[in-house]
Amino acid sequence: VEFILKVADTDGTDAIGQDEVLYALKVWSTYRHAKERIREYFEKYDFTRDGYFDHDELKLFLVDLNDGFKVTKEEVDWVFSRADVLGDGKIHEVEFLSAVSAWY
């Protein structure tokens, strides 16, 4: 819920206005449809099994997305900063699509 509220609050008022409700529903729907695929990636790359990606785990995932080509620390940091919507220094399953979107 916190993720949806933060993502959908596009005007920064700490509340979801009438015009932001549809966007919130779209974000949630997209996550729900991709949830199984996201879990597959977490099973593969969340080596610590703590339920989120740290920088190292995200880097390995991005290298895989990049067909094995090197990904720099700066690129990982940039993607991480865009995807960490909750601001807790972790990429949770609900934030995963933000990481993929930032990379592409």
pLDDT for residue 84: 92
Q: Please, what sign has the CA dihedral across residues 8, 89, 61, 66?
A: positive
Per-residue pLDDT reduced to its tens digit, 47-99: 999 999 999 999 999 999 999 999 999 999 999 998 998 899 999 988 888 88
Angle at 91 between CA 86 and CA 95, to 5 degrees: 65
Q: Which CATH number fits domain 2-103: 3.30.70.20, 3.40.1440.10, 1.10.10.60, 1.10.238.10?
A: 1.10.238.10
Per-residue pLDDT reduced to its tens digit, 9-58: 777 787 788 878 877 778 778 778 888 998 999 999 999 999 999 999 99
Cβ atoms 99, 91 nearer than 8 A = yes
Domain parsing of the chain, residue ranges: 2-103
Q: What is the number of other CB atoms lying within 10 angstroms of the CB of residue 39? A: 13
Among candidates 63, 26, 28, which has minimal Cα distance to 44?
A: 63
